[in-house]
Amino acid sequence: MDIEQLEKSFIKRFGKSNEKIQFYFAPGRVNLIGEHTDYNNGYVLPCAITFGTYLLVRANDSNVVKMVSENFDYGDEIPIDKLSIPQSGKWMNYPLGVFDQFIQKGLKPSGLEMLYSGDIPNSSGLSSSASIEMVTAFALNDLFYIGLEQTDLVKLSQKAENEFVGVNCGIMDQFAVGMGKKGHAIFLDCGTLEYELVPIDLKNYKIIIANTNKQRGLADSKYNERVAECNKAVGFLAKIKKVESLSDFSYQEFVNNKHHIPDINIRKRAKHILSENQRVVDAVKVLKNDDLRVFGKLMNASHNSLRYDYEVTGYELDTIVEEARKVEGVLGSRMTGAGFGGCAIALVDENAVEPFIRKVGENYYKKTGLKAIFYISEIGDGTKKLNSSEN
């Protein structure tokens, strides 16, 4: 991203001023393994990526917050006393939800000019929403000298999405976006927020993100339905022992007691969550042993579980994962994100990257009529303030 060009765009939109423009960045994320476990207080293994959301902010002497985006046509000037009112179907609800959380904590905001610009594909499953939330939270915390810790900003951003936007997301996305570290994945217990930074040595392999270009709307997808189904599973299993979430059970305990869940679909949802928790634990062990081949097998098993037990993949994701696995030099492939479209990831030998992109792209298009977009993902740092010279 060209920061100097963004600064020129900012001045073109808002004009010149004696006030200094501040620069912030929050990455997107990919989840290497551990899908839909976060809102079940389970284990996840995400990492921050090197593209994300840039935010340029400048104070003004008005009583309005002016929000515009390089990615969406719609922008607005919002009076300070209206910042806690949701906009109907607008992208601005993500930053507004963060404003609302700060206002509930006693913040009295002043006028601001805010330009957002991101290179995360929208609705791709790479957490563009969490990236917008976290960059806003970090900026407000810095601009108004609030003094919250990064983990506090993570929790605040998740709460904004839950309560203001209306998506019952877990904390994984915001945590990975906020706490990421270059060259590391985050082994996170979403129930306790205990985490470990796990170094990843990819050797001669690359993480390739494949965007299906099958758009999905997270808030109106079956995401909330899956949350409700998991809660039903907890209700059945709570008759056996006192539990608050599915992750209070081990996978073996589930196997021994699955007959207590009479609904076969609810049973399948629980099976995915608890087997996925175990796969995350196994994945951390094999990564520490630099065993990428076994990690690839765990990726494959994760996608299969998401496809057959959790049923959140869909034709496009299944097709692109199947085509990825056919290419020589691929150790594993799986969907990443909430599903129902969006992106898949694959672990690919660096010598096979060009034929991988060509073969998977061609075969995917033949079967779906959609053109996939591919990204070579580097593992980057979490949310931060930038100097104007950084990009």
Catalytic residues: 173
CA nearest neighbour of 48 among 382, 336, 384: 382
Report angle CA 338, 207, 314 to the nearest 5 degrees.
30
CA nearest neighbour of 287 among 334, 345, 331: 331
Q: Measured between alpha carbons, how far is 329 from 127 in angstroms, rounded to an integer?
A: 28
Q: Measured between alpha carbons, how far is 270 from 94 in angstroms, rounded to an integer?
A: 30
369, 320 contact by CB (below 8 A)? no
Distances (CA, A) of 381 to 25, 36, 143, 169, 283: 10, 23, 21, 22, 21
Q: Measured between alpha carbons, how far is 331 from 283 in angstroms, rounded to an integer?
A: 14
The two tokens of residue 283 are 């994945």
Strands 43-59 and 112-118, how do they pair? Answer: antiparallel
Longest dimension (CA), the chain: 69
Q: Given its phi and psi angles, is residue 343 left (phi above 0), alpha (psi -120 to 50 degrees) or beta?
A: beta
72, 25 contact by CB (below 8 A)? no
CA nearest neighbour of 352 among 197, 204, 171: 204
Residue in this structure with the two tokens 């696995």, named with its chain if needed: 325
Q: Measured between alpha carbons, how far is 79 from 88 in angstroms, rounded to an integer?
A: 16
Distances (CA, A) of 272 to 242, 255, 269, 303, 354: 21, 12, 5, 10, 33
> 124: how many CB neighbours lie within 10 A of its CB?
23
